[in-house]
Every structure is written in C-alpha cells, then in structure tokens.
Amino acid sequence: MRGPHNILRLIRTGATLERTGAMKVVLDAFEAPRLIRIAARGLVWPFQWLGYKGDPAMPPVPRALTALGPAYIKFGQVLSTRPDVVGESMATELRVLQDKLPPFSIKLAKQAVQVELDRSVDEVFSEFSEPVAAASIAQVHRARLSETGEEVAVKVLRPGIERAFRKDIDAFYFAADTIEFLSPASRRLRPRDVIEHFDGVVTGELDLRLEASSASEFAANTKDDAGFQVPEVKWEFSGRRVMTLGWAEGAPLGDNAALDAAGHDRHALGSRVLELFLSHALRDGYFHADMHQGNLKVAANGDIIAYDFGIMGHIDEYTRRVYAEILYGFIQRDYMRVAEVHFEAGYVPADRDVDEFARALRAVGEPIFGMDATRISMGRLLNYLFEVTERFGMETRTELILLQRTMVVVEGVARSLDPGVNIWDVAKPVVAGYIKDSIGPRAFGRDLLKTARVLARFGPRLPGLVEEALIRQATPVEQVKPRLWPVALMGGVGGAVFGAGVLALVMAVV
C-alpha cells in the first residue's frame, strides 16, 4: 500500500491540526520558535479544507487526534502522562484518550462476542453492560459469568480497527522513508526501524489471544509483588477479538480527587508505580509497556491493579545489565562510568572521545541532583539529551524504544500523582539491588553454570564439530583425518572437565 497516496494522508494530518486549532496549541505547548511557527502554519494553511473536522465538543488537540485515528491517539496517550512537557492543561485534556473515547454500539460488541466464542452472549453471561471504557483499539464491558456468577471485564476490539491502523502505519512508513531520503543525518535515528518496531507492537495488540497470554505470564512473574495485582485470564471466554479477565474494582489512578477521597497516599502510590516498573524491567526483563493512568487502578486496600496488556516490553539479560549500570551511574553521579558503559555496549561509536562524552553526560545529569523535582523541566532535559546523541553519533536502539518510552510515561504518571516524586531517589534502591544480584559473584557463578549447560548439550557433538572445522581448512582431507580423532577426543573430554569444574564452582558460590 505504500506509495505517493500517503502524501495526501500526511497533508491531511497537518490540515486537521490546523483546522481544529490544534496546530497553534501544540506549537505553544512546545514553545516553538517564531520562524518554525510561521513555516509550519504557512505550509498547511492552504490545505486546511482537507482536514477532518473532528468533534467540536472536544478541546482542539484531542479533537484532532481522535479524528486522525488510532495511531495518533496512541501518541496522544503518551503525551497525556507528561504535564511537565506539554503543560498541565493539555495533559488533562489528553487523558480522555486513555479510556473515554466514543464507544461503538453494544449490539456490535455482542455480535463480536458471539462470533468469537461461538456462543450467544446470553448463554455465556447473565449480565452484559454498556461500555464502561473505550480506548483507541477496543472497549470494555462489565459482565457476569452465567456459570459462576463471577464479575468479569470483557474486552472487544473495535470493528475495522485492523484496517484503520494499517492505513496510519502505512503513512508513517512513507514519512520515515521520505525523511531518510531527504535528510541523511536523520538515518542515525533509524526512523524506519522505529516504525517497524511500532508496527510489530501494534500487530500484537490487535490479537487479544496474545494479550491474554501476556497477562498470564505477567501475573505469574509478579504474583509475589507486594501491593500489586493482575486480573486472572478467563481462557474459556477469550479469543482473537474478545478477551475476558476478572473484574478489577478500584479508583482510577488518574482521578486524584477519588484517590484523596478514598484516603490513599498519592506520594506513596507514585513511588510504588516507579518501583514496580523498574523491578519488572530489571528483575524479569518483562514489563507492562503501556502504564498510563487509564490502565491502572487502586484497590480499596491500596494495591495497584494493572490491566490492558496489549503492549508488553521484553529486554534480554545483557541489555538489562547495561541499562542498570547506566541508571546506577547517573544515580551515583559517576558520569565516566556511564560513558564507559555506553562505549562497551556499542551505543556510541568507538572513534568518539569517552572523556568528552562523560562531560556531556554530566551537563545532562547535574541539573537534576539537588533540585526540587517540581522545578525540573523534562522538556528541556529531553531536548538536551537529543542534542548529545546527535553530537556523538548515537543510533536509535530499537530494542530499548519501549523501555525508554515506558519510563517516560511511568515518571509522568508518578508526577501526576505528586509533582514532588523524584525518579532518581525512588530508583536508587531498586537499581542498587539489581546491580548487587546481577553483577556480583553470584551472578558470575550463574553465568558459568549457563555456559556449562550449553557445553554439556553440545558435548556429544564436539568431536564432529572439531572435525568439520579442520576439514574446512586448506589442508587436504587425507592428511587431516588421521590426526582428527585425538583432537576431537581432547575437545570432548576438555569440555566435559570444564563443565564439571564450572558446576563445582557454581555450587560453591551459589
């Protein structure tokens, strides 16, 4: 589908922003220079008649994003968690995008349930409510199971959502390719790879069987986490376009008035959201990657309840260690170590100056420490970080996109609960604990044990592998073969001895 027709789609995006009045609001929120304001509005003004009108009852920015479609709504959801970037007023306006979008009819929802479960709604549920929440991809109904009387949440995909997302992402690919062609300097940011990553995430979110699996795995990982709950998946009543979970009763995390009325400590809640996210990301390498206020509730006992598992993040063990060392270096204000970790991981090209990079990182980190969290401008901080990455030729790391995005969102959620929450103070014990467990002697022993297990699996094949490697060399096969069996035998025995030694060492350490 990618082609010039996407030019119209992108023009219509700008035209919609101008027609709804969102263009001016966005430029004001980001304090855009006067020249950029004139250029941006001058380019789209002649085409504003192509823009969508949207719902006149909504504020300009939510009006524009909802008119443009689900992919744009996702972007608005991220911005809704960052009052320090877009301003408190706009952030509040954008929160309607989290779970208060216009729903589709209950009739269509019941039809989807019947098709997916191959049973009528009245047969499965004794009660089935009007939509209680509606977001960009799906809406949720409160229901009661006929068999057990248990209250559940039934999530149903929006009709035609797959096609709507495909159109948006198709235009994003076109924009990324155009940017890379017109601006070679932008290639270090890998815009196309970023869109491919987003495409993969969205594709997974459009299959509720995958979301149910994510919820199940996440619940297993976090079952022992104090003050945290994940609703149970009802597999018998779930499918590709319908998912049923246990009902989560609680106050919305984004409703500060309700939280205050219920007597909850908002500062403690904000700190716990940050702690839980860091713990899941570092300890498990598997985290909820859509932790905005619309996907979190607070139970009567103060537990945080997470739901909507369409977007989950995964990072491997090596990346977790790198990420933890970078965070811990910032917390300790050891900018040289932070710089060295970037170079060791290959995040910064080896031909750059590590001392100069450390000084640049100091300029990013020092303004944070010793300053009241309410005075930190994340907008200015992110802008300077972008300048640093450009200066040192750092490429976008697609495996970290979800992690970085979620960290921005979670910090925004925490600061919306209490502007005084400081991410670095909260992160220190979590990161320090992970560093102690993952980069100390015990971790070394576990790494050796994993190596021994791999060697043990390949032990029987070592003689053959050694023989194949030697045969591939330039020496004629006839001259090599007579000498192969002692070498292969030594390789197999050596691997077995090494594995036994590693196992003994691990037993002693662990």
**Secondary structure in 3-state letters for 352-368:** CCHHHHHHHHHHHHCCC
Q: What 3-state DSSP class applies to 320? A: helix
Sign, Cα dihedral of 67, 210, 246, 297: negative
Q: Which of 274, 271, 250 is nearest to 262 (CA)?
A: 250
Q: What are phi and psi of 397, to 5 degrees?
A: -100, 100
What distances in angstroms separate CA 398 from CA 330, 342, 385, 401, 405, one per listed residue?
22, 15, 17, 5, 11
DSSP letter for 396, please.
Answer: P
pLDDT reported for residue 107: 94
pLDDT reported for residue 145: 96
Measured at the alpha carbon of residue 343, what is the angle toward residues 339 and 349, in degrees to the nearest 5? 120
Residues 421, 217 contacting (CB under 8 angstroms)? no
Counting DSSP H helices and E strands in the chain, the numbers are 24, 10
- Residue ranges of domains in the chain: 5-99, 102-135+137-247, 249-439, 441-509
User: What H or E segment, with its residue span, contains residue 246?
Assistant: strand 242-246
Query: At residue 477, does pLDDT exceed 60?
Result: no
Q: What are phi and psi of 304, to 5 degrees?
A: -85, 130
Token pair 């995390």 is at which residue? 253
**Which amino acid belongs to residue 40?**
A
Positions marked active-site: 290
Residues 104, 159 contacting (CB under 8 angstroms)? yes
| pLDDT tens by residue, 37-78 | 777 677 777 777 888 888 888 888 888 888 888 878 877 776
Mean local confidence (pLDDT), 211-226:
95
Q: Which of 244, 433, 255, 403 is nearest to 328 (CA)?
A: 433
Report residue 472 as tokens: 């591939």
What distances in angstroms separate CA 21 from CA 43, 44, 70, 402, 510, one per listed residue?
15, 12, 20, 31, 62
pLDDT reported for residue 214: 94
Alpha helices in 45-185 (DSSP H): 60-68, 70-79, 83-86, 88-94, 96-99, 106-117, 121-124, 161-182
What b/e string do you get for 334-366 counting C-beta neighbours within 10 Å, with b at 16 or more? bbebbbbbbeebebbeeeeeeeebbebbeebbe
DSSP letter for 100, please.
Answer: B
Res. 375 pLDDT band, cuts 50 70 90 = low
User: What H or E segment, with its residue span, contains residue 143?
Assistant: strand 138-145
| pLDDT tens by residue, 379-435 | 556 556 667 777 787 776 666 767 877 887 888 889 889 988 887 788 888 888 888
Residues 377, 358 contacting (CB under 8 angstroms)? no
DSSP letter for 148, please.
Answer: T
Rounded Cα distance, 66 and 64, in Å: 6
User: What H or E segment, with its residue span, contains residue 499?
Assistant: helix 477-509
- Name the average pLDDT for the chain: 80
Burial class (CB in 10 A: 0-12, 13-18, 19+), 113: buried
Q: Which of 202, 253, 193, 189 is nearest to 72 (CA)?
A: 202
| pLDDT tens by residue, 93-127 | 887 777 778 899 999 999 999 999 999 999 999 99
What b/e string do you get for 291-316 counting C-beta neighbours within 10 Å, with b at 16 or more? bbbbbbbbbeeebbbbbbbbbbbebe
| pLDDT tens by residue, 138-197 | 999 999 999 999 999 999 999 988 888 888 888 878 877 877 776 676 666 577 777 777
pLDDT reported for residue 508: 34
Residues 358, 335 contacting (CB under 8 angstroms)? yes
User: What H or E segment, with its residue span, contains residue 190?
Assistant: none
| pLDDT tens by residue, 482-495 | 444 443 333 333 33
Rounded Cα distance, 284 and 317, in Å: 9
pTM (2 d.p.): 0.70
Rounded Cα distance, 292 and 295, in Å: 6
Q: What 3-state DSSP class applies to 313? A: strand
pLDDT reported for residue 504: 37
Residues 284, 310 contacting (CB under 8 angstroms)? no
